[in-house]
Chain A
Amino acid sequence: MPRLVIDDREIEVPEGTKVIDAAGRLGIMIPRFCYHEALGAVGACRMCAVKFLQGPFKGVQMSCMVDAKDGMVVSTTDAEAVAFRKWVIEWLMKNHPHDCPVCDEGGHCLLQDETVSSDHSRRRFLGSKRTYRDQYLGPYVQHEMNRCIHCYRCSRFYREYAGYRDLGAMQIADKVYFGRFRDGRLESPFSGNLVDLCPTGVYTDKTSRFKVRRWDLERAPSVCIGCSLGCNTVAGAQFRAVLRIEARTNPDVNGHFICDAGRFGYSYTNGGAGFRQRPREPMAAGAGIGREGALERAFGALEEVARKYGPESVAALGSDRNSVETQCALKKMCAAKGYLPPVFFLDPAARRKTCEAVARLDERIAFSRSELESADFVIIAGADPLNEAAMSALALRQAFRKGGRIVVIDPRPVSMPFDFEHIPVVPEAIPRIFGMIVANSIPGEGGGLDANAGKFLRKLDRRSEDATLQSRIEDLAAGLAAAKRPAIVCGTGIVDETTPAFAADCALLLYRAGKRAGVFYVLPGANSYSSAVLSENDGRTFADILEAMEGGSVRALVVVENDLFRNFPDTRRLEEALARLELLIVIDYLPTGLENRASVFFPSSTAFETGSTFINQEGRAQFAHPVHAGGVPILGGSPEHVFRPDVPGGGQKPAWSILHGLETGLSGSGGISAEEIIASHPAFGAIAPLRYPVDGVRVIPVQSKEEFTSQSVSGGEPAPPRGLRLLLVDWMFGTGEISAYSDTLLESIPEPVLTMHSADAERAGLLDGQEVALRLEGGTVEVRLRVTEKMAEGVILLPRHQNLRWQKIRGFPALIDPERIAAL
């Protein structure tokens, strides 16, 4: 480990550390434009010049290009280095336009900071300024090429780091241009990171264009609830509106970046277009009722139902969108009042899969996203990383760049920005195939493994009847055998119920075989981990409650932040069951439509307004800090000239506080204490005392109670189902609960399509691009057909698209007779 001296202070750093980072560890920020921790060094900008006084070489050098070595003595303040940096600024400013006042980067611009700190204020250069034409880059990123200082960060991120090809550097010498070949929307769903990365204002956030300066934003560390990864963000609000989301660096979770859905999908909290969509007032039967009145009415009605039919006639439904606090408060309320314990899942299969996955996560095999980045062999089993957890695809891309081999076993036409092998098979065949890869990678009968692991290994199938598949498996197994840090990425969406546990056992087997192996689950929603933990001993789901509603034993239902009509597969049945209820209490911050049906509706606050805890898919509890006080945004016109003590349209309480009110009948800001959260489940013990380090804490056990208990998947190839199996799938844009209410994302939402294998299409006589009618149990859905060869035969894929009434499907797993798909 080299020891060196920087500005008279000594430091020891790991081998290979750049001098610029070594200085960073001492708290010395050497100015930089092109260097970036995630993108590495290219030495393009010459801004990081320092003077080397002693050591292997002397003189002014770029600190980002030099590895720290023993005996180096470095000065960042040496007159020669300072003068050098001053000249760099002067020559960069030679071509820089005079447009800071109309540039959205102004106020947090690296170039501006360095120009001011180097004291450059007068233009001495007499020549003309170079100019460029700008491009239209889509709805999120604004382009203003004159401001470019040619640091190459954008093209390095876009092409090398993220793997998309439609933006990059063009031309030579003084004409180098960063942009697309022609105007058009950026293809990468990570394009928003250009806004954070560009040290100047070439790329700025179009959704908040001209609306605010960074110094005016109320900013706080937040957590994205767009999917189960829980990427870390900084949310900024002004004028009672959240206006900008930036990526927050968390090496374990999202690194330096976030996806576009997370960055730009924030407008739900402001109430969408015109700020009117968000329900802000308590209502009874669709009409406004004061806060006190609502609580009185709801509390009284709940007591009444409990008195008339017994407390077990009251049921409660939460969701993956609830914070940990809300879920615990819901559980506590139900326990205190003797109501039925709350359920958090709609579908029993989804509950089982999520619970199985969560039960298996432990310190040995749970991989964080950063561990995924350094995996050298990845099996993706029943997951579509880009669509289900976008930032995991970026992690996989890094694994690929480091030479990792990646195989996807999934029926969908999975696409990711790197090369991978795809074995498209029906969901029931997934575990068997990756089990075979794992089994074949361990030589012999697994001598040296302990009894349990050996037994598990012997149960695994090794040979497939299909010779081509077999040779492919053997080839992959050879790759896996050579791997040191293999990972299994397992979805919980389309897979069979036993697959998540099986994936954990396979990872554990590899772990026992001496590899640093791990499993990385993709869960259904932001707080699925907590939902699963809180319902681990309770097999009930909303399906059971629905039956009880129909049977008349459940008379009252409390729905907390669940967009029931979007999520439940049978709209008609749901409507009828809700109509039988005597009392429906709804708590939400989204306009789900339930607010108009509710006997009493309470508007809740979003995580931006109150702060709350979410546990991501690897079991990391993270706190989203409150950003602002909420209220109707005052954008779009000057605020009224009135004095008032309250925040107009504000004052919503968090769901947990409303639930406390329903429990006690008392208004006020009471809620749930840290002790009560910890009491809700032993796993939450690690959460205490609700003061997390900003990087979050993992709440998973050191060693899971279960190992090698998953159901065996041996027994030959599964019989092909008769008919086509309909799989409901998620897309990055257009299927999420949160994104549906964020009008900032509207332009990203592609048209819904039904996807089908070309052989299946041929058999059914259907053509690509055709409008087809899909006859489901509950009615017909008209949708465009997409035909592809890159998917499994025997399945058709229907997105849970917001513009598609897929809720006519009537049950989660659906087998469709091909006859039921007809061209229009």
Chain B
Amino acid sequence: MNENESRLGRIMDGIGGIVDSYAVTLKHLFRKPITEQYPEQKKVLPERTRARIVLTRDPEGEERCVSCYLCEAVCPTDCISMEGAERGDGRRYALWFRINFARCIFCGLCEEACPTLAIQLTPDFEFSKYHVLDLVYEKEDLLIEGCGKNSEYNYYEHAGVAVGFDKGEHPGEAKPVDVKSNMP
């Protein structure tokens, strides 16, 4: 290979590279900008975006959460804690329920684990705080009025325990056994 040829080729390559990039810059100078002016302009995020967590209610308006501790168990950052309690009618609920959003990584595992559809992640990601302790949310802060993503499911309708629905009243259940009868 000739040494002069290759030197010329490399010079041409260099010039071409510079010209190309100027051309791109020049082209963009005359394009419409695509930057979104957040926070003045807000984007509608997909429904399944994983951000701020809420506790929802069932269609009857009762708190869905039964304080089963499953979300707390599955949470990889251990940021959920709660204490279960029993209501007068036997219904199990969370006496207190807290999520430390300073630790939450919005992985969504809690939502996946929740058997009652109580805990749900929402697209609202805007809740930064100046003080880290303000990111510890209590049940009052988490509980919303609505049903969230599912407007039908009521766990206690299916549970089989006599809360809200009597024994034998849940779908697919037979009447309670009468232990004092000898009828087959």
CA distance A102 to B70 in the complex (A): 11
- Is the Cβ of B172 less than 8 Å from the Cβ of A129? yes
Q: A101-B116, A239-B83, A638-B96 are in contact. Are A171 and B69 (CB under 8 A)?
A: no
Query: What is the CA–CA distance of A146 and B174 in the complex, to the nearest angstrom?
Result: 11
Q: Is A66 an interface position by the 8 A CB rule?
A: no
Chain A interface size band reads 35 or more
- Inter-chain contact B84/A211, CB cutoff 8 Å: yes
Residue from A100, A107, A177 in contact with B115 in the complex, judged by beta carbons closer than 8 Å: A100
Residues of chain B contacted by A97 (CB below 8 angstroms): 159-161, 170
Find out whether the CB atom of A98 lies under 8 angstroms from the CB atom of B159. yes
Nearest CB on B from A184, distance (A)? 15
A447 proximal to B (CB < 8 A): no
Q: Are A637 and B95 neighbours in the complex by a CB distance under 8 Å?
A: yes
* Stretch among B7-15, B36-44, B51-59, B175-183 lining the A interface: B175-183
Is the CB of A106 closer than 8 A to any CB of chain B?
A: yes
**Does A99 lie within 8 Å of B86, measured CB to CB?**
no
Chain A residues 85 to 131 lying within 8 A of chain B, measured CB to CB, are 97-102, 106-107, 128-131
Interface members, chain A 162-212 (any B CB < 8 Å)? 170-171, 175, 177, 179, 209-212
For the complex, give the distance between the alpha carbons of A643 and B83 in Å.
Answer: 20
Q: Is the CB of B174 within 8 A of A98?
A: no
B79 beta carbon closer than 8 Å to chain A: no
Please tell me if A132 contacts chain B, counting CB pairs below 8 Å.
yes
* In the bound complex, CA of A179 to CA of B86 (Å): 23
Contact status of A213 and B92, CB under 8 A, knowing A129-B173, A131-B176? no
| Interface membership of A12, Cβ < 8 A | no
Q: Which of B133-148 contact A (CB under 8 A)?
A: 133, 136, 138-139
A763 at the interface (CB under 8 A from B): no
Contact with A134, one of B162, B172, B175 (Cβ below 8 angstroms):
B162
In the complex, residue of chain A having the shortest beta-carbon distance to the beta carbon of B118: A101
From B69, B96, B167, B176, give the contact of A213 (CB < 8 A): B69
| A128 and B160 within 8 A (CB) | no
Does A128 lie within 8 Å of B176, measured CB to CB?
A: no
Can you list, as one digit per residue, whether each of B14-45 has a CB less than 8 Å from chain A (1) or not (0)?
00000000000000000000000000000000
Q: How far is the CA of A642 from the CA of B96 in the complex (A)?
A: 16
Cα A642 to Cα B176 with chains together (Å): 50
Chain A residue with minimal CB distance to B67?
A: A210
| Interface residue A133 (Cβ < 8 Å from any Cβ of B) | yes
Judge whether A27 is part of the interface by a CB distance below 8 angstroms. no
**B109 contacts A by Cβ under 8 Å:** no
A210 near B92 with CB under 8 A, answer yes
B window 90-121: CB within 8 A of A? 92, 95-98, 115-116
> How many whole Å from B165's CB to the nearest CB in chain A?
11
Residue of B nearest to A209 (CB): B86
Q: In the complex, A131 Cα to B159 Cα: how many Å?
A: 12
B168 at the interface (CB under 8 A from A): yes
Asked if A129 and B167 sit within 8 Å, CB to CB, the answer is: no
Q: Say whether B173 contacts A128, CB under 8 Å.
A: yes
Report the separation of the CA atoms of residues A131 and B161 in the bound assembly, to the nearest whole angstrom.
Answer: 10
Residues from chain B with Cβ under 8 Å of A130 in the complex: 174, 177
The answer to whether B173 and A99 touch across the interface, beta carbons within 8 angstroms, is no
Instruction: Tell yes or no: A641 within 8 A of B by CB.
Output: yes
Q: Contacts of A643 on B, CB cut-off 8 Å?
A: 133
Give every chain B residue within 8 A of A215 (Cβ-Cβ): 69, 73
Tell me if A445 is interfacial: C-beta within 8 Å of chain B.
no
Secondary structure of the B contact surface, majority rule: mixed
Q: A101-B115, A128-B173, A129-B172 are in contact. Are A638 and B98 (CB under 8 A)?
A: yes
Residues of chain B within 8 A (CB-CB) of A170 are 179
Contact mask for chain A residues 58-77; partner B; CB cutoff 8 A; 1 contact, 0 none? 00000000000000000000
With the chains together, A179 CA to B179 CA distance in Å? 10
B174 x A131 contact (CB < 8 A): yes
**Chain B residue at minimum C-beta to C-beta distance from A172:** B182
- Asked if A216 and B133 make an inter-chain contact with CB atoms under 8 angstroms apart, the answer reads no
Task: Tell me if A210 and B161 are in contact (CB < 8 A).
Answer: no
Say whether A496 faces chain B, with CB atoms less than 8 Å apart.
no
A641 to B176, CA, bound (A): 47
Of A102, A128, A638, which one neighbours B159 at CB under 8 angstroms? A102
Known: A133-B167, A638-B96. A171 touches B179 (CB 8 A): yes
When C-beta atoms are compared, the residue in chain A nearest to B82 turns out to be: A638
- Which residues of chain B have C-beta atoms less than 8 A from A131's C-beta? 160, 167-168, 173-177
Determine the chain B residues whose CB is within 8 A of the CB of A210 once the complex forms.
67, 84-86, 92
- Given the complex of chains A and B, what is the CA–CA distance between A102 and B98 in angstroms? 19
B83–A177 contact, CB under 8 A?
Answer: no
Bound Cα distance from A107 to B70, whole angstroms? 9
Cβ of B158 under 8 Å from chain A: yes
Does A635 touch B at the CB level, under 8 Å? yes
Is A645's beta carbon under 8 Å from chain B? Answer: no
The 8 Å CB contact of A101, one of B66, B72, B138, B162, is B66
- Nearest B residue to A175 via CB reads B177
Is A721 at the interface (CB under 8 A from chain B)? no
B66 touches A98 (CB 8 A): no
Closest chain-A Cβ to B162's Cβ sits at a distance in Å of 7
Also in contact, A101 and B84, with CB within 8 A (given A131-B174, A177-B179): no
The 9 lowest CB-CB distance pairs between A and B, nearest first, are A97-B160, A638-B96, A101-B68, A210-B84, A128-B174, A213-B69, A131-B167, A177-B179, A101-B115
Binding site for B on A (CB under 8 A): 97-102, 106-107, 128-134, 144, 146, 170-171, 175, 177, 179, 209-213, 215-216, 239, 635-638, 641-643
A131-B177, A209-B86, A212-B69 given; name 4 further pairs at CB < 8 Å. Answer: A133-B162, A177-B177, A637-B95, A638-B98
Q: List 25 A-B contacts (CB under 8 A).
A: A97-B159, A97-B170, A102-B92, A102-B159, A107-B69, A128-B173, A129-B172, A129-B173, A130-B174, A131-B173, A131-B177, A132-B179, A133-B176, A171-B177, A171-B179, A210-B67, A210-B84, A210-B85, A210-B92, A239-B83, A637-B95, A637-B96, A638-B95, A638-B97, A641-B136
